Structure 1
């Protein structure tokens, strides 16, 4: 795939139009830095980042690797997160 600016823009536009939870994702991306800076966050806030990291990919991401990372994160003590 040619990773030109137009390709990225086209794929991003298609992603925004077809991803059912795009608006929720966009809001999280905007609010997460403030949430962590305020020290008022929960485990699910941190877990969302791990899930989003793998699901934001504009294509098919290997599901096995994604699940392994999510499972590894889930095993962390909240105090460590």
Structure 2
């Protein structure tokens, strides 16, 4: 099980390198799932959205917070 991010498929300002790395995690997961399927190995990625924590509160309470909440199912 790999951990990705909503930013693998959703653009956001000033996190291009982070988004690229999470996109790579998702591509790796898909490739490994196909490669290992015949051995009965399942490969998955979790891509959580934002959770209000001490670490994310600065962002969620900023001008971007409303945009993030609107775009999160």
- Whether these two folds match at TM > 0.5 is no
TM-score after normalising by structure 2? 0.34
User: As a proportion of its length, which structure holds more helix?
Assistant: 1
User: As a proportion of its length, which structure holds more strand?
Assistant: 2
TM-score after normalising by structure 1? 0.32
Higher relative contact order at CA 8 Å, sep ≥6: structure 1 or structure 2? 2
